Structure 1
Amino acid sequence: MPHDAPAPPPAVTARRILVAGTSGAGKTTLAGRVSAVLGLPYTELDGLYHGTGWTPRPEFEDDVRAVVAQDAWVSEWQYTAVRPLLLERAELLVWLDPPVPVVLWQVGTRTVRRRLRRTELWHGNVEPPLRTVLRDRDHILRWAWRTRHKLRGLDERLAREAPHVRVVRLRSRRAVERWVRSLA
């Protein structure tokens, strides 16, 4: 499938929507846009997961259960521990699958911008100093590189494991824009 192939038509009846992709693919941005266009509540999973000092919040899984119990929601499909909970109730999964160089550029520029601006993310957390990329194995830039192929074959896996979930795979910004416009 070419990178700028037309996006499949949306499932406009979907009221429980997940956005999947590797780190830096644009999950949070697209989930927020889908929420706004369709008028569905959006919950950012990073905000539920990260506590002060980047520590995992003990209430995370309970908070996710509360979100998925609702009739309608949009969220990212991440965090291995809660992916089954999310998938069980989801109707549509939008898979952002741009080329690796695009993802690495996006996560890199986002990380540098957040660090230079000291952007507060969740519960007072900010990006660590950029030099930590050299010593922190889980620095977001190293994480993005290490996990860049993590979702390979996702559509086939979901067809087996969650056949009730419709998958829309978007491989370029152009496809994302076309798909979002089709929602309106």
Structure 2
Amino acid sequence: MQRLLIVGCSGSGKSTLGRRVGAKLGLPVVHMDQHFFRTGWEIKPDHEWNAIVDELVAGDSWVMDGNYSNTFERRIKRADTVIFLDFPTWFCVYRVLKRWLTHLGKTRIDAAPGCPEKMDFEFLSYVVNYNRRSKPKMLKIMQGFDGEFVRLKSVKAIDAFVAQLDEKRIAS
């Protein structure tokens, strides 16, 4: 495990898991949100974003969290492991609302600088519709993946996965 891609709905815990896995394996953690946005949630132009993604995936090792379906195929080609956080819609909605209230007016460590936590209809709609719209597309792309595929469906499963990373590291 040298290049891990963590995907799933917003609120599923991608960034938190990314930090945990990065710490366990001693790998750099890449939060895609930090690279996609400029200050004030301004989206970078496509040419700039694509160049950044190419540079990020070229690294020898990383734990990368974020869906960004327009770059997913390029990123999955470089990954040796894909972790898919597969949670029910209600859970993700609850978690993004909790995150919004907890970090209201503050910038989270996994967000781009100058992008304080916010909530709007477009984002909430994305979360509500993720399992119906985005998940099938992501799973279709993942079908052709020939590396290690891990599908986690509960917080307990995430904790067990992180715990077994110690066992894998000790065994190797």
Same-fold call, TM > 0.5? yes
Give 1:143 shift: 2.1
* Matched ranges for 1:76-95 at <5 A: 76-95=65-84
Give 1:99 shift: 2.2
Give 1:155 shift: 4.7
Q: Which has the larger strand fraction?
A: 2
On the 8 A contact 2:36/2:49 being kept in 1, the answer is yes
On the 8 A contact 1:77/1:86 being kept in 2, the answer is no
Q: Secondary structure of 2:63's partner?
A: strand
1:146 aligned onto 2:122? no
Query: C-alpha root-mean-square deviation of aligned residues, in Å?
Result: 1.8
Which portions of structure 1, spanning 4 or more consecutive aligned residues, are displaced by more than 3 angstroms? Answer: 152-157
Aligned mates of 2:75, 2:140 — CA distance in 1: 18
Structure 2 length-normalised TM: 0.84
On the 8 A contact 1:41/1:72 being kept in 2, the answer is yes
Aligned mates of 2:163, 2:127 — CA distance in 1: 28
Q: Which has the larger helix fraction?
A: 2
* Matched ranges for 1:1-184 at <5 A: 14-58=1-45, 59-115=48-104, 118-120=105-107, 121-128=111-118, 133=120, 137-138=121-122, 140-149=123-132, 150-152=134-136, 154-155=138-139, 157-159=141-143, 161-162=144-145, 164-184=146-166
Give unmatched runs, 5+ long, in structure 2.
167-172
Amino acid in the other structure paired with 2:25: L
- The residue that corresponds to 1:3 in the other structure is none
Give 1:96 shift: 0.6
| Paired-residue identity, % | 29
Structure 1 length-normalised TM: 0.79
Superposed CA deviations along residues 111-168 of structure 1, whole A, max 9, x for unmatched, are 12121xx21242312134x6xx4xxx41x32321122332148556422x32x23210
Aligned mates of 1:98, 1:22 — CA distance in 2: 8
On the 8 A contact 1:158/1:165 being kept in 2, the answer is no
On the 8 A contact 2:32/2:64 being kept in 1, the answer is yes
Give unmatched runs, 5+ long, in structure 1.
1-13
Give 1:86 shift: 0.6
Report the structure number with the largest CA radius of gyration. Answer: 1
